[in-house]
Amino acid sequence: MTIKEIQDEIVEEFSLFENWMERYEYMIELGKSIELISPSNKTDSNLIKGCQSKLWLHAEILEGKILYTTDSEAIITKGIAAILLRAFSNQTPLDIINSDVKYIDEIGLKEHLSPTRANGLVSMIRQVKYYALAFSKQE
Amino acid sequence: MGFDINKIREDFPILSRKVNGYPFVYLDNAATSQKPKIVIDSIVDYYSNYNSNIHRGVHSVSQEATDGYESARQTIQTHFNAKYSHEIIFTSGTTHSINLVANGFESLLNSGDEIIISGLEHHSNIVPWQMMCEKNGAIIKVIPMKENGELNLPVFEELLCEKTKLVFVNHISNALGIINPIKKIIKKAHEFGAVVLIDGAQASSHFKTDLQDLDADFYTTSAHKLCGPTGVGMLYGKEKWLKKMPPYQGGGEMISTVTFKKTTYADLPHKFEAGTPNIAGVIGFGEAVNYLNKIGFDNIKNHESSLLDYATKKLKTIPNIKIYGDSLNKTSVISFNVGEIHAYDIGSILDKFGIAVRTGQHCAQPIMDYYNISGTVRVSFSFYNTIEEIDHLYKSLLQAISMLS
């Protein structure tokens, strides 16, 4: 699936919910079920800056596609990270560079992606793109 | 004067708004207080009717502005019972005040002199002293804290010696709300001839402090913590110390005569108030102090302690809750965690229910390191909070825990 298709799928899933509480419960579920970063990659250099809770991001390239893994101490942060990586992980560097995160607004979680919110998610998106840029130069 | 909570809430325009569809429940008072209409109006009135620069003007409106500014100084002097009004220096807030003293003592201390800081300090209380010590070679010693959040006083007494020149302690710890025994600390420090600065930022909204009785050499607070505007605060200093300290910043207002050879400095308090001050802010500060005195600090204390008791009892019934700084000697602050749930998650869900709390380290990383935690949820009550709001907090917290577990 393309990034856009996955994003549309997520938007559709979230459209079933009637209120914020259901959306949050689903997001928390996604956070719990995400494939976590391996403990050996939970290093300081993989730590995203500017968070109240620790957030890690690791990236590696496999057959031309970037695989991202993440973890966070806060489950809400982890849930949103899961929603982001579901779209961006296992995609080509170029597709990642050319994509956006507007779907986060559409599923009603926009407030968590404010640059002034100290959860590190905005920095994480930037880091996802930097990795894509770096890997695209390697090819 | 009686204490009518509904009437008091009407004084605060912001308390009638909604957040995320719920009535706004503001429990982040230790970060900043809300402002009563009378304070907001005093600022609007200044800009609408008598805005002018102060002290230098000969015209009528400048005189009115100067009167407004100086009468706020007297209000604050009276409130804190300082001996002279020129012992009250207006600053941009506590952080500025502390930097001012640290800067002043840079040349008054020598290499090897010691300063003692409590282990409960806010970052703003630690960094300026580290910067000062880098310049003059003085050494920082720390009073450790105990498990219940109180300072370890026997260790403090061991740290005191002839080399101790300065002692810095906050009146109340911002992260835990513990009231420190500052009168005792000041007395002990004075036995060794040390100067004492008390950071009163967390205290001034809860009780009245008598500075002459306390005998602190310096005391500081920020207006925004006590229903006043942001960007303004005070530094109280005993006259003899303010005279000894060199000025902090050069500029207009703080000089007496200027030639290219030499400048002589103005008398107190102007020596430390370089440039055009925050006139509107100072006027609002004075109005806020008047407002709190009208409510009455006894009333404030009674109401806040019943809120604290009620909330503590209620929160303690929640399984796996851990309250930090479980001392009886504290203000209306509860800092807690629930099981393994991250404070950020709890804060995010409470926000959806319209409840404002603080999460994180509260600018007091050493305290968090002591408990080996990454942060806490902190609820802090003010005299305008209600029992019903605590009930809403309790219910919402249970909901958050069930969603996050």
- pLDDT score of B266: 77
pLDDT at B329 (0 to 100) = 85
| Residues across chain B | 405
| Interface A-B: count of C-beta contacts within 8 A | 44
Global pTM?
0.91
Q: Exposed (0-12), middle (13-18) or buried (19+): which is B210, by Cβ within 10 Å?
A: exposed
- Best mutation site among A48, A76, A119 for testing chain B: the one with the most B CBs within 10 Å? A76
Mean pLDDT of A20-28: 93
The rounded distance, in Å, linking the Cα atoms of A76 and A29 is 10
Which B residues, 360 through 399, put their C-beta within 8 Å of a C-beta on chain A?
360-361, 374-375, 399
Residue type, B293: N
Measured distance CA(B17)–CA(B236) in Å, rounded:
36
Average pLDDT over residues B270-299: 95
B387-404 and B343-352 helices cross at what angle (nearest 10)? 120
Average pLDDT value for chain B: 92
Give percent of chain B with pLDDT exceeding 70.
Answer: 95
pLDDT digits (tens, 9 = 90+) for B127-151: 899 999 999 999 999 999 888 888 9
Can you give the residue range of the structural domain that contains A53? 3-138
CA distance linking residue B16 with residue B9, whole number of Å:
8
Of B374, B375, B404, nearest to A75 by CB-CB distance is: B404
pLDDT tens digits, B208-217: 999 999 999 9
Give the residue from B367, B307, B344 showing the smallest Cα distance to A53: B344
Cβ(B233)–Cβ(B273) below 8 Å: no
For residue B114, the model assigns a pLDDT of 97
Between B174 and B9, residue with greater pLDDT:
B9
Domains of chain B: 5-30+296-404 (3.90.1150.10), 40-293 (3.40.640.10)
Cis peptide before B128 (omega within 30 of 0): no
Q: Which residue has the tokens 């009378």?
A: B38
Task: Give me the pLDDT at residue B226, please.
Answer: 97
Cα–Cα distance list, A58 to A62, A90, A135, B361 (Å): 13, 13, 13, 26
- Subunit contact B344:A25, Cβ cutoff 8 A: no
pLDDT digits (tens, 9 = 90+) for B191-204: 999 999 999 999 99
B403 and A25 within 8 Å at the Cβ level: the answer is yes
Q: What is the pLDDT of residue B191?
A: 97
Residues of chain B in contact with residue A52, where contact means CB-CB under 8 angstroms, are: 343-344, 359-361, 374-375
Token digits of residue A33:
């079920």
pLDDT at B364: 67
**Looking at the complex, does the CB of residue B344 fall below 8 Å from at least one CB of chain A?**
yes
Annotation marks residue B363 as catalytic: yes
- Cβ–Cβ of A54/B374 closer than 8 Å? yes
Q: What is the pLDDT of residue A97?
A: 95
In terms of CA atoms, which chain B residue is nearest residue A119? B344
For B6, the 3-state DSSP assignment is: helix
pLDDT of residue B290: 98
Here the CATH number for the domain that contains residue A59 is: 3.90.1010.10
Q: Which two tokens stand for residue B197?
A: 């600065």
Put simply, the answer to whether A52 touches B360 (Cβ < 8 Å) is yes
For B242, B266, B382, the CA distances from B271, given in Å and listed in that order, are 9, 5, 35
Cα dihedral sign for B159, B160, B166, B167? positive
User: What's residue B308's pLDDT?
Assistant: 96
What pLDDT is stored for residue A56 in this prediction?
93
What's the pLDDT tens digit per position in A73-112?
899 989 989 999 999 999 999 999 999 988 988 888 888 7
CA closest to A73 among chain B residues: B342
Give the integer Cα–Cα distance in Å for B97 and B78: 20
- CB neighbours of residue B306 within 10 Å: 13
Residue B26 backbone dihedrals phi, psi, to 5 degrees? -95, 105
Give the tens place of pLDDT for each residue, B353-397. Answer: 999 999 987 666 777 778 888 889 999 999 999 999 999 999 999
Chain A residue with Cα closest to B403: A25
Quick: pLDDT tens for B255-269: 666 666 666 677 899
| C-alpha dihedral sign at B267, B271, B276, B280 | negative
Closest residue of B to A22, CA-based?
A: B403
- Quick one: CA torsion of B5, B9, B11, B12, rounded to 10 degrees? 150
Q: How many domains does chain A have?
A: 1
* Predicted pLDDT of residue B328: 79
DSSP labels for B103-134? HHHHTT--TT-EEEEETT--HHHHHHHHHHHH
- pLDDT above 60 for B74: yes
Tell me what pLDDT residue B252 has: 64
Within the 225-284 window of chain B, which residues sit less than 8 Å (CB to CB) from chain A?
none
CA distance B257 to B248: 17
B290-330 pLDDT per residue, tens: 999 999 999 999 999 999 999 999 999 999 999 998 777 89
Residue B1 has pLDDT above 60, yes or no: no
**CA dist., res. B91 & res. B224, Å (int):** 12
* Contact residues, chain A, for B360 at CB < 8 Å: 52, 118
Q: What percent of chain B has pLDDT over 90?
A: 80
b/e sequence B139-153, b meaning 16+ C-beta within 10 Å: eebbbebeeebbbee
For the stretch B236-250, pLDDT in tens is 999 999 999 988 777
